Structure 1
């Protein structure tokens, strides 16, 4: 448990730092319009990748320990399915993108661009499911190293492209070149894991053939996880695309950097609640105890991060260029304040998964997502980029207010009916019966 928890936290930190460096290099080496297109494309990749996951990643976390001997087959089936789904969805989006926004026209400009984007979506969905499967197998250190290699590879690639542009080695270096590094990084990060399986775990290959019957049995549960995951992730991944459509790619270039930095404020709470679900503290007493710890840690980290952001927003964005500091500093300050209600939202979703009450959580989370996008769009119409940021923050606070009672209820431990019955039954067993059972076991 500690290794898994540590790997998730370390993954967040390492990918966050290297991701910061990645977008810093992109902002310094490329025109804001190119950064805007790339950030919108990457956000679309992540959104479509989440759609293509079909809930299988979250499902595997809980199911792999319950399927001894079938882990390899279940994982290979899930990876094959989401990889195909991601490729198909990616092609459809790339073809339709030019009709949605002129700024997204490069995604479907030619066959190579379409295949590049589709490949990126497919790889994104595969790596999402694989990382969660590794957590379910209690091999969190492997997903940590994969993510580290991914982040380092795409950073090195964007540095190389920027270097080539600076010295005129390359003639073209638009947004397509930036988001191509994202897909390349994901592909390269899979190679060591493939080699690890071939060399160290070659015996698994005999049991790794896809078995579609396993997924059919788990289809209903996977669908529930998928719908909840999709609804939860849509606002976060769709917001940069919304900025591009409603405002412009250039303004999204400014906003996305602020959005990426604000992610540092949210990641601690998200990682803590992911671990809370991964350890699956199903007992009410244990869940309440662990929730107190995760809530306190999330509050402390969010408060500390917000102090840094509120004081140093201009200086942090200034690392990307003076224009970013001027145009996006207040957006960064505003969206970072949403970290506190996000703590409530993340815990609400984690508790719903643990208690297997996914269906009852769908409506509140769906309404919250609609409110986030709706008020953000209204804010963009009324107040441009600053209005969008303020509208989104207000929407998240509204969600937090309505989700707080469920979280507080989980914190107030009361023995379940089943637990009370077990205690009562144990109290009725005569002491001599227990002693006789102990004597029988000792012989």
Structure 2
């Protein structure tokens, strides 16, 4: 294979493998929640899903968005990779465990529906699962940065299958908390297996590879990490808080209907995110190819989205009927709206990934701040009038408005000529 073709091939290969991972994860996740919906009562599903959402939110905040930082800098870290990743794990675990403990202390005030987490044994399990999930998220970025996306598939498959087995076993002995416990146990097993591979094989091999002269050798700076973290907080707040808001405003039954319809529709967002991650990695390895890579991502992912959106919109009731007739009746409208909103989200994800690759962090923060604030505000406004479908409508409107603006202002994020960023600018490179 010629050197000129390598970035293009890696871009598509990594993106396709991560997309396949998203599909497998979504299918196994749908199977998991379908079984949980049949083995546990609706209220238990709603409460446990909201607890899992809180866990994911806290882990997302606690991992300091180091996933994207490692995606950007692991490809060119060489012999520094082991130390870089180890420091990221330590920082994420400590901060995430602290946040989980504070959440349990404040749960009567901020989310009364989750007070069952304050039981000592379950609370300890929640803190452990939250810290483990932070590592789980980070290691996906590490594997992708190392161009080992196939291990992302295996890791997530092991985690998903483990959850399914455990949720069935725990339905016999822990009817009210088995869903959350299945996540905690499966997480510990999955991260132990994956990090055994990383530290024993992947890191030494990456350290021995010669540096590519086309790669960007820069290192993460505090300015880059902080700006990327602020941007990620907007996205986390806009996504992970939604099930908790629905639970508190509409009750556990509507939270269950919302959660599973949102899960099915959001699988298309994961497709966008997978291609965006591949874009970041390949831009680090060959920055000059970024404009071409952005256009390939838009074309390629757009075709996949078209097929996925048509299927989900046409078969929304059938998809949700897997979980039960009530889920199909209450969640089909939301599923269609979320699926449609994935199209404009592709433009947003491509722009965000390009900004990370170029270290244009002010633009990145601005994009995510606007889209997330607008989506959350519209969702809250429409929730009372339209029920859970109002969240889908709010997201569709917000994504479309921001994507249209980004398409109009493409020079802000899509380079039309080579640009160089000063290595001492802290990563805060704004538009010229």
> TM-score when scaled to structure 1?
0.83
| Pick aligned residue for 2:322 from 295, 319, 322 | 319
Contact 2:269 2:342 in 1 (8 A): yes
CA distance in 2: counterparts of 1:194 and 1:341, whole angstroms: 36
Correspondence 1:124 to 2:125: no
Contact 2:170 2:182 in 1 (8 A): no
Q: 1:334 to 1:5 in 2, by over 3 A?
A: closer
Correspondence 1:298 to 2:301: yes
Contact 2:71 2:277 in 1 (8 A): no
CA distance in 2: counterparts of 1:22 and 1:319, whole angstroms: 11
Correspondence 1:97 to 2:115: no
CA distance in 1: counterparts of 2:66 and 2:143, whole angstroms: 13
| 1:375-409 Cα deviation digits (max 9, x unpaired) | 10111122222333322322222222222234476
Correspondence 1:37 to 2:47: yes
CA distance in 2: counterparts of 1:198 and 1:112, whole angstroms: 32
Which one is further off, 308-317 or 397-406? 397-406
Q: Which structure 2 residue ranges, 5 or more long, are not aligned?
A: 1-9, 206-218, 422-432
CA distance in 2: counterparts of 1:144 and 1:199, whole angstroms: 19
Q: 1:416 to 1:62 in 2, by over 3 A?
A: closer
Which one is further off, 407-416 or 75-84? 407-416
Contact 2:75 2:281 in 1 (8 A): no
| 1:88-130 Cα deviation digits (max 9, x unpaired) | 111111221222233221122x222221111111011111112
Deviation for aligned residue 1:203: 7.9
Kindly report the root-mean-square deviation, in angstroms, between the aligned alpha carbons of the 2 structures: 2.5
Contact 2:159 2:187 in 1 (8 A): yes
1:192 aligned residue: 193
Contact 2:352 2:367 in 1 (8 A): no
CA distance in 2: counterparts of 1:183 and 1:243, whole angstroms: 24
2:73 aligned residue: 63
CA distance in 2: counterparts of 1:342 and 1:197, whole angstroms: 32
CA distance in 1: counterparts of 2:279 and 2:229, whole angstroms: 19
1:87 aligned residue: 97
Rg comparison, structure with higher value: 1
Correspondence 1:392 to 2:395: yes
CA distance in 2: counterparts of 1:56 and 1:153, whole angstroms: 26
In the alignment of these two chains, the number of paired residues is 398
> TM-score when scaled to structure 2?
0.85
SS at 2:78's partner residue?
Answer: coil
CA distance in 2: counterparts of 1:417 and 1:46, whole angstroms: 36
SS at 1:338's partner residue?
Answer: helix
Which one is further off, 116-125 or 191-200? 191-200
1:155 aligned residue: 164
CA distance in 2: counterparts of 1:219 and 1:288, whole angstroms: 27
| Pick aligned residue for 2:26 from 16, 22, 26 | 16
